[in-house]
Structure 1
Amino acid sequence: MPHIELHTNEPGIRGLFHYRPETAAPLNALAEVLLRGDSTLSRGERELIAAYVSGLNECRFCANSHSAFAAAQLPEGMHLVNQVHTSPETAPITPKLRSLLTIAAAVQKGGRTVTDHQVTNARSEGATDQEIHDTVLIAAAFCMFNRYVDGLATIAPDDPAAYESMANHITTNGYGSP
């Protein structure tokens, strides 16, 4: 049960956005730019970074929802998402994406844990400065989103179908659409 009365049964961050639409707008705009805007990383890859960080933060709602969003946009689907959650070191992803996930995991621990070696490695695997920038910002933003969702004890559905329904909406309409 949420710590505050949200006046909705919407789960996770959706309930919080319903509660404070004036804060929802800029947060949704940020998510739209980071996860769906122009980028050389695919939408699925960016959602995978968000899902991975949310999993590291043990934010059930965000990990499940963004895993579903990633799976809906990656040809390998949920099988790959689960492999990344279990073992990003051995998951069948590109070396570039693996190096970006390493940076995202460092950000999740704390911004100062990102090392020159990690950035140099990402560059050597083909990551651009914008991809490194966006990875750091996605990881940092999802640390905030995860703490927002869990700090107010929002509802997280157990049924995977709930997340698949959200994935259909997000992949079709984007963030910020009702």
Structure 2
Amino acid sequence: MSDLPISRYPVPELADLPEDVRSRILAVQEKAGFVPNVFLALAHRPEEFRAFFAYHDALMEKDVGLSKAEREMIVVATSGANQCLYCVVAHGAILRIRAKNPRVADQLATNYRKAEISPRQQAMLDFAVKLSLDSATVGDADIAILKAHGFDDEAIWDIGAITAFFAMSNRLANLISLRPNDEFYLMGRLPKS
């Protein structure tokens, strides 16, 4: 385990947090077996913690229009483009598990255009990365490509909202120098025995 700090900002003690924030963190710890560092780092500001995870869950915990694995694909590809180590490593682990594919996260973070994904997923990521890096140039032609691949207006909104949310998250993680948990690096790489 690394001795490096989780964040360049103070990380509060669980006992010092408001009950709802502490309960959320403990629930995640029970489910995952560890506390992802993002929860501890963002608890530095409880109001923002609540808002962040409410919007995160609204975007990432549904399975309509996009699968949960496709939602994670967007996070990993755009976080790679934004050079966010924390989100690439953490969401790469989640993606490997949700996609049941130990290779896909590394491929998407490095060069999604060479990844083992469907043409539909390629179009989704072309749009997401363009929106992440050059949003002012997104236009009707980009939307038409997504619709030709079977995405409806609500799925396109989700692609855009996930991209925008994680653009903010990537920048915040880079600002605070958020360190990925060591546990993330091995998750989903080998089948469970």
Question: The TM-score by the shorter chain falls in which range?
Answer: 0.7 to 0.9
Q: Identify the residue that residue 117 of structure 2 maps to in structure 1.
A: 93
Q: Identify the residue that residue 50 of structure 2 maps to in structure 1.
A: 25
Is 1:69 the equivalent of 2:74? no
Amino acid at match of 2:179: I
Structure 1 ranges of 4+ moved more than 3 A? 7-12, 162-165
3-state secondary structure, aligned to 1:50 = helix
- The offset of 1:139, in angstroms, is 0.6
Runs of 5+ in structure 1 lacking a partner? 168-178
What is the TM-score of this pair, normalised by structure 2? 0.75
Q: Identify the residue that residue 7 of structure 1 maps to in structure 2.
A: 12
| Cα separation, partners in 2 of 1:113 and 1:38, compared to 1, 3 Å | same
Query: Matched residues in 1 for 2:137 and 2:170: separation?
Result: 19
Could you list the per-position Cα deviations for residues 111-148 of structure 1 after superposition, in whole angstroms to 9, with x for gaps in the alignment?
21223222111111111111111111101100101111
Query: Matched residues in 1 for 2:122 and 2:67: separation?
Result: 14
CA RMSD of aligned residues (A): 2.3
Structure 1 segment 51-70 matched on structure 2, within 5 A:
51-70=76-95
Is 1:146 the equivalent of 2:170? yes
- The offset of 1:92, in angstroms, is 2.4
Could you list the per-position Cα deviations for residues 43-85 of structure 1 after superposition, in whole angstroms to 9, with x for gaps in the alignment?
011011111111111110111101111111013x231222223
Give the total of aligned pairs: 163
3-state secondary structure, aligned to 1:64 = helix
Q: Is the 8 A contact 2:128 2:160 kept in 1?
A: yes
- The offset of 1:18, in angstroms, is 2.0
Q: Report which of the two structures shows the higher radius of gyration computed on alpha carbons.
A: 2
Q: Is the 8 A contact 1:53 1:104 kept in 2?
A: yes
Q: Identify the residue that residue 78 of structure 1 maps to in structure 2.
A: 102
Runs of 5+ in structure 2 lacking a partner? 15-34, 189-193
| Cα separation, partners in 2 of 1:91 and 1:154, compared to 1, 3 Å | closer
Q: Is the 8 A contact 2:132 2:164 kept in 1?
A: yes
